[in-house]
């Protein structure tokens, strides 16, 4: 398993690849885009925005070379968005609907304390983090977030909170500055038993 710095280095590579294909991705009808470079996760707005958020929030954990790659990727991403407001909104809402279904199914297993679901929470919660990344983007002008989406997320969060016991940060400690407890409460704790 990669340590926190190794995972960030991997995120730099993934971010650069995703940014490089973002313009073509936004023009396509594909939600989960297979990147040209093999062995990487599929491109989605949530996957890109989650990594961008983490990397921009943790610059002290990056080398100068990695920071330069991140800066280039962010600039490339921003160029890909030019004159694609409606297209980004469509893709983002489509992804949020898929992620809400995915997270909801996971939480059903989690609620019933199915062993694999509870044990796998630390990696499964990445879906919820991606949902936050996409909703945050859609709440920035000129974009618009459909209030139905926030209502659905609030219902899922309420279901999780009913079984949640606050506790320590679940991901690598060095990442904690990128994920404040007030906004990412679901990264701090575990299921009540």
* 110 vs 95: which has the higher pLDDT: 95
Q: DSSP letter at 160?
A: H
Write down the pLDDT at residue 163.
86
Write down the pLDDT at residue 118.
63
* 115 vs 125: which has the higher pLDDT: 125
Whether residue 1 is predicted with pLDDT greater than 50 in this model: the reply is no
Write down the pLDDT at residue 191.
77
pLDDT tens-place string over residues 147-180: 999 999 999 999 999 889 999 999 999 999 999 9
Across the range 129-135, mean pLDDT stands at: 98
Lowest mean pLDDT among 12-26, 50-64, 84-98, 114-128: 114-128
Whether residue 116 is predicted with pLDDT greater than 60 in this model: the reply is no
- Looking at the whole model, is its pTM more than 0.75? yes
The two tokens of residue 88 are 């980004």
Query: What percent of the chain has a predicted confidence (pLDDT) above 90?
Result: 83
- Of residues 38, 187, 32, the one with CA closest to residue 102: 32
Across the range 129-143, mean pLDDT stands at: 97
Write down the pLDDT at residue 112.
67
Is the separation of the CB atoms in 103 and 155 below 8 Å?
Answer: no
φ/ψ (deg, to 5) at 110: -60, -45
- The per-residue pLDDT of the chain, averaged, comes to 92
Whether residue 193 is predicted with pLDDT greater than 70 in this model: the reply is no
Strand locations in 71-110, DSSP E? none
φ/ψ (deg, to 5) at 104: -60, -45
Whether residue 115 is predicted with pLDDT greater than 60 in this model: the reply is no
What is the residue-wise DSSP string for 20-68?
Answer: HHHHHHHHSS-SSBPPSSTTSPPB-HHHHHHHHHHHHH-GGGS-HHHHH
- Of residues 122, 133, 22, 31, the one with CA closest to residue 79: 22
- Of residues 39, 35, 17, 25, the one with CA closest to residue 92: 25
Whether residue 182 is predicted with pLDDT greater than 80 in this model: the reply is yes
Q: Which residue has the tokens 């500055």?
A: 177
The two tokens of residue 161 are 């909170």
Q: CB within 8 A of 124, min separation 6: which ones?
A: 106, 110, 117
How many Cα atoms within 13 Å fall on the side-chain side of residue 180? 3
Write down the pLDDT at residue 2.
54
Whether residue 133 is predicted with pLDDT greater than 90 in this model: the reply is yes
Q: Which residue has the tokens 């989406």?
A: 149
The alpha carbon of 136 is separated from its chain's Cα centroid by a whole number of angstroms, namely 10
């Amino acid at each position: 398993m990669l340590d926190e710095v190794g995972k960030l280095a991997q995120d730099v590579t993934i971010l650069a690849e995703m940014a490089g294909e973002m313009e073509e991705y936004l023009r396509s009808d594909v939600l989960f885009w297979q990147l040209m470079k093999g062995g990487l996760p599929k491109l989605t707005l949530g996957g890109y925005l989650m990594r961008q958020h983490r990397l921009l929030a943790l610059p002290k954990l990056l080398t100068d070379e990695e920071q330069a790659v991140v800066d280039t990727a962010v600039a490339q991403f921003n160029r890909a968005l030019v004159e694609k407001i409606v297209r980004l909104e469509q893709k983002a809402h489509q992804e949020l609907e898929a992620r809400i279904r995915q997270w909801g199914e996971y939480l059903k297993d989690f609620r019933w304390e199915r062993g694999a679901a509870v044990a796998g929470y630390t990696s499964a919660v990445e879906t919820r983090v991606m949902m936050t990344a996409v909703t945050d983007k859609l709440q920035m002008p000129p974009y618009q977030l459909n209030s139905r989406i926030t209502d659905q997320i609030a219902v899922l969060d309420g279901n999780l909170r009913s079984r949640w016991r606050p506790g320590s940060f679940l991901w690598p400690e060095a990442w904690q500055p990128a994920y404040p407890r007030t906004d990412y409460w679901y990264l701090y704790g575990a299921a009540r038993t």
